[in-house]
């Protein structure tokens, strides 16, 4: 039983952090499809940072700075240049995946994976079987609670939600929707950096090209599934992780009867199901509306 929970936490934690990033952006009214790209920048920067500086925390700092810069770029394009968030987000994703591949190739010359000597600090023997997990797993519930406090119990959080739902009304009471989006996307950049670091250095300690393989988009779906609520989105992300773990289990036990490529499809199918269900329950969110609302000036 313990190993199943460990597997779920390992695959679920990166997804949860990235989902929280998407959730904040969603609350501010930005459909952030660049999550995938920002996350892979975080993964790549963490591994390369560890190799360059030989210190995990310095590497983490580099990853956070790069991810926040990428988020600010997305904010600039969406908010200042009034680009379509969906296409711009997909563009940022392409930049992240291509850019990290190019960075690895230009530094190491080959397309192989890059391994780091060590990864995120572990919890240690005090936690028994769970000691192999990284500190970000333990931090996750506190981060979720902190974001819940921030978004639901502070003036800032309410203003953020107002800016997302009705920018014009928010502006009329003195909030600045544009600045709110910048803050939301920047916080999202930090969370994506943590998610990317956890993915690459949490249990694996290597970076491979395109290693996020759609997790950013899955996180985005978790945001929709969880109605952009901090706790709801977290549970949606964990649900996808559980489905993924079931898929891996099923591969081990029925791998000879069912082709394993089709079992790998389970998380994607769960995502479609989740988005469909949330549309049924709440009438569905419309992507097209997502960018019409940005045009409030």
Partner 1 sequence: MRDRILTVIRSLIFVVFALVLCAVVFQFAGYNAWLMLTSVADGAFLHPGAVQQSLRWALPLFITAAGVSISFRAGFFNIGAQGQFYLGAICAAFAAEWLKGGPAALVVPACFIAGMAGGALWALWPGLLRLRSGTDEVITTLMGNFLAGLLLIYVTSGPLKDPSGSGQQASSRPLDAAYRISNSLGLSPTIIVIAIIVGIVMWLLVNRTAFGVLASLAGRNGTMVQWQGAKLWQLGLASFLISGALAGLAGTVELMGPNGRIASGFLPTHGFTAILIALVANLSIVGTGVVSLFFGGLASAALYLPIMAGLPAAAIDIVNAAIALFITARAGFLDKLFNIGRRPS
Between the two ends of the chain, the Cα-to-Cα distance in Å is 55
Q: Does 231 bind partner 1 (CB under 8 A)?
A: no
Which of 46, 71, 203, 271 forms a contact with partner 1 (CB under 8 A)?
271
201 contacts 209 by C-beta, under 8 angstroms = no
279 binds partner 1 (CB under 8 A): yes
Please state, in angstroms and rounded to a whole number, the distance separating the CA atoms of residues 71 and 188: 8
> Which of 66, 92, 187, 238 touches partner 1 by CB under 8 A?
92
The owner of tokens 């800016």 is 163
Burial class (CB in 10 A: 0-12, 13-18, 19+), 103: middle
Q: Does 134 bind partner 1 (CB under 8 A)?
A: no
Task: Tell me: does residue 105 bind partner 1 (CB under 8 A).
Answer: yes
**246-275 burial, b for 16+ CB within 10 Å, e for fewer?**
bbbebbeeeeeeeeeeebeebbbebbeebb
Q: Shortest distance, CB of residue 47 to partner 1, whole angstroms?
A: 18
Q: Which is nearer to partner 1, 92 or 161 (CB)?
A: 92
For the record, the structure tokens of 62 come out as 């580099």
Q: Which of 4, 149, 169, 265 binds partner 1 (CB under 8 A)?
A: 265
| 146 touches partner 1 (CB under 8 A) | no
In Å, what is the CA distance from 264 to each residue of 197, 201, 243, 256?
Answer: 23, 23, 10, 14
| Segment lying near partner 1 (by CB under 8 A), choices 2-10, 190-198, 200-208, 285-293 | 285-293
Judged by the rule CB under 8 A, the positions of this chain that interact with partner 1 are 31, 33, 73, 77, 80-84, 86-88, 90-95, 97-99, 101-103, 105-106, 111, 214, 217, 220-221, 224, 259, 261-262, 264-265, 268-269, 271-272, 275-276, 279-280, 283-288, 297
């Amino acid at each position: 039983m313990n190993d199943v929970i460990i597997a779920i936490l390992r695959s679920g934690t990166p997804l949860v952090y990235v989902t929280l990033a998407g959730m904040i952006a969603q609350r501010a009214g930005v459909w952030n499809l660049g999550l995938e790209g920002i996350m892979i920048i975080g993964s790549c920067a963490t591994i390369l940072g560890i190799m360059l500086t030989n210190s995990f925390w310095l590497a983490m700092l580099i990853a956070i700075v790069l991810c926040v810069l990428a988020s600010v770029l997305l904010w600039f394009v969406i908010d200042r240049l009034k680009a379509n968030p969906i296409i711009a987000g997909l563009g940022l994703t392409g930049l992240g995946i291509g850019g990290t591949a190019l960075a690895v190739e230009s530094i190491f010359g080959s397309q192989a994976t890059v391994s780091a000597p060590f990864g995120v600090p572990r919890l240690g023997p005090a936690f028994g079987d769970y000691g192999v997990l990284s500190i970000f797993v333990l931090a996750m519930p506190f981060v979720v609670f902190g974001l819940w406090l921030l978004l639901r119990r502070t003036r800032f959080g309410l203003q953020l939600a107002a800016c997302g739902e009705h920018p014009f009304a928010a502006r009329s009471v003195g909030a600045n929707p544009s600045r709110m989006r910048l803050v939301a996307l920047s916080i999202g950049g930090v969370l994506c950096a943590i998610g990317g670091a956890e993915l690459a250095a949490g249990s694996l300690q290597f970076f491979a090209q395109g290693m996020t393989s759609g997790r950013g988009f899955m996180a985005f779906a978790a945001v929709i599934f969880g109605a952009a609520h901090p706790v709801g989105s977290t549970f949606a992300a964990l649900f996808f992780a559980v489905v993924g773990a079931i898929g891996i289990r099923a591969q081990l036990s029925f791998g000879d009867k069912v082709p394993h490529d089709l079992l790998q499809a389970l998380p994607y199918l769960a995502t479609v199901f989740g988005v469909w269900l949330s549309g049924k329950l709440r009438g569905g969110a419309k992507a097209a509306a997502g960018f019409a609302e940005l045009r409030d000036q």
